[in-house]
Amino acid sequence: MEEIRYCADGHIFCNARRIMLAVDGSEGSSRAATVAFEVAEMTKSKLFIVHVIPTPIVRQIALMSESDPEEILIKYKVKGEKLLEGVRKASTKYKIETEVILDRGSPSDRIIYLSKEKKVDLVVIGARGATGGGRTGLGSSAERVTFGADCPVLVVK
């Protein structure tokens, strides 16, 4: 199929060499992962798989439950590492180079920051994440990343 590939100047997928996938363990991020794997394979791009521990939520939980914030943070870290390893493992059936990143902070802020730091050409994110509930439309992180990133953002429903 490579010999048929047509790339005109300015086409997003033709220029993509570094793609970022934001994951949070939700069904939406699972669908986004599949799309990111396929786009990375098609464009021969490196894929950065990012999970951000939501420290504002960790602080809220600690405050409401009168728990030690460090203990809660450790639990989030362990779950984040398992999530990243699961997504990385799922990517192995595609012929792509991956790098996993576990970060902490406000998810949308950190995704935007990391996309700039890693000089990615495309961010792939689920339309609604783990805290999206039954909302209609975009989740708050997807919306913030869409408007805050310097590169194109592919939102997967």
pLDDT band at 9 (very low <50, low <70, confident <90, very high): low
pLDDT tens string 39-73? 999 899 999 999 999 998 888 888 888 888 899 99
Closest-CA residue to 99 (of 79, 114, 113, 77): 114
Q: Which residues pair with 116 in a beta bridge?
A: none
The answer to whether domain 2-156 has CATH 3.20.20.70 is: no
pLDDT tens string 138-149? 668 899 999 999
Is the confidence at residue 135, as pLDDT, over 80? no
pLDDT band at 10 (very low <50, low <70, confident <90, very high): low
pLDDT tens string 80-116? 999 999 999 999 999 999 999 999 999 999 999 999 9
Q: Which residues pair with 125 in a beta bridge?
A: 155
Domains of the chain, by residue range, sit at 2-156
Treating both helix axes as pointing N-terminal to C-terminal, what angle do 140-148 and 107-117 enclose, rounded to 10 degrees? Answer: 30
The pair of three-digit structure tokens given for residue 24, joined into one six-digit string: 């949070």
Amino acid sitting at position 8:
A
